Amino acid sequence: MLVDEEEVSPSDDEDIPEGSDITQNFNAPVENVAGRDVNINIDGVDPKDHAKVLAENNDLRKERDKLLDDAKVSASATEYPTWLADPTPEQMRSAVAALHITDKLIDTGELLTPWEQTRIARAAYLAGNGHLDEIEAIYRNNLRYAKSEGNKEAIADARGNLGYIYSLRGELEEAKNHYSQSLELGIEIGDLKGQAVTLSNLANLASLMEKYEEAEVFHQRCIEISKECSDRQLEAITYGNMGNIAKLIDNFDDAIHYHNKSLEIKREIGDLRGEAASCSFLGDVYLSLEDYVGAEKHFRNYVRISREIGAPLYDDFEKFGFIDHEEQWSNFPPSDWTTEVGGG
């Protein structure tokens, strides 16, 4: 969750087709699916044709969902690294086609469920940043509808999503505006997890703006709330982000401390992909310290775990100095791959 509140920037209603408010559920009136009102007005459509349009929308929705399946776009958080990594041309074409169908649905007032919003947003990222405008239009429609309904949680979601879109574009102040409003609303409605996620986003944004002390404050607050709502994964991610910032400002002791805390939690919760990432980050820190033995231990674990779970390796292994290319790792004896990395 991520976003919020009343102060609307003048751009909130720009480039949004009238009547294209998204957040409600439309579905085939013939099937009378729960939550889809067959009697609802559709702007620009004669009331007697509503049932026909809704039925057509249902067919379009099925076609779009098939394209999203072909593009391997999921709304599952655990599948996020997989669908984004090295998409094939076929996946990208399917993602673009799914976006075009979504545009048609929006033009008739179609509203997306949160699950659908996530899949469509990911399809846009998969298709390339050239499609961010389409996703922004979806989120702005969601924001308008949420405001008309007085749904503060949905307002928060839309604001946070818009903040992420602006951060991808490099419009950091505008991103901060949306994230800040999201945080205010999250506090107002008592949504702890939403607050934690937004604080994490604000911290990362502050880091991009080179405001490292501000990022530290946001991260610490995120840690506190993550512990309060028992979100161990976000706690681990936040420690990792803190470690990355510490390394960025050459505070290597803190970097090792935070990355080890992150690694410990990831091991406790069985997050192998996250564990591999932490090992890679730690290897980078030790490499900066010119501690090649320590760096090699962590990089070995990074490669071992990545291969166990079938995750792609980073492309820039040549930067590690003592490695000319990733394939050289395969020359190490099998026993070496089981090296356990300790505290530091």
pLDDT in tens, 85-136: 566 778 888 888 888 888 777 777 666 665 676 677 777 777 765 667 777 8
Tell me whether residue 45 is in a domain: yes
Helices then strands (H, E): number in the chain?
13, 0
- pLDDT value at 27 more than 60: no
Neighbours of 33 (CB within 10 A): 14
- pLDDT value at 323 more than 90: no
Of the two residues 4 and 324, the one the predictor is more confident about is 324
Could you give the residue ranges of the DSSP H alpha helices within 114-271?
Answer: 114-127, 132-149, 152-169, 172-189, 192-208, 212-228, 232-248, 252-269
Please check whether residue 227 is in contact with residue 208, taking contact to mean a CB–CB distance below 8 angstroms: no
Distance CA 89, CA 87 (A): 7
Tell me whether residue 285 is in a domain: no
pLDDT at 43: 53
pLDDT at 86: 61
Please check whether residue 194 is in contact with residue 182, taking contact to mean a CB–CB distance below 8 angstroms: yes
Please check whether residue 71 is in contact with residue 126, taking contact to mean a CB–CB distance below 8 angstroms: yes
Tell me whether residue 1 is in a domain: yes
Number of domains in the chain: 1
Tell me whether residue 127 is in a domain: yes
Mean pLDDT value of segment 292-300: 88
- The contacts of residue 206 (CB under 8 Å, 6+ apart) are 212, 214, 215, 218
Token pair for 272 = 């192998």
- The contacts of residue 309 (CB under 8 Å, 6+ apart) are 272, 273, 276
Please check whether residue 25 is in contact with residue 115, taking contact to mean a CB–CB distance below 8 angstroms: no
Tell me whether residue 60 is in a domain: yes
From residue 341, give the alpha-carbon distance in Å to each of 28, 269, 286: 55, 17, 13
Distance CA 71, CA 143 (A): 27
pLDDT at 192: 93
- The contacts of residue 107 (CB under 8 Å, 6+ apart) are 17, 20
Tell me whether residue 21 is in a domain: yes
10: containing domain: 1-166
Ramachandran quadrant class, 32 (left: phi over 0; alpha: psi -120 to 50; beta: rest): left
Of the two residues 98 and 268, the one the predictor is more confident about is 268
Distance CA 166, CA 157 (A): 14
The pTM score is: 0.64
pLDDT at 47: 63
Question: Above pLDDT 70, what percent of the chain?
Answer: 67
Question: Above pLDDT 90, what percent of the chain?
Answer: 32
pLDDT at 174: 95
Tell me whether residue 80 is in a domain: yes
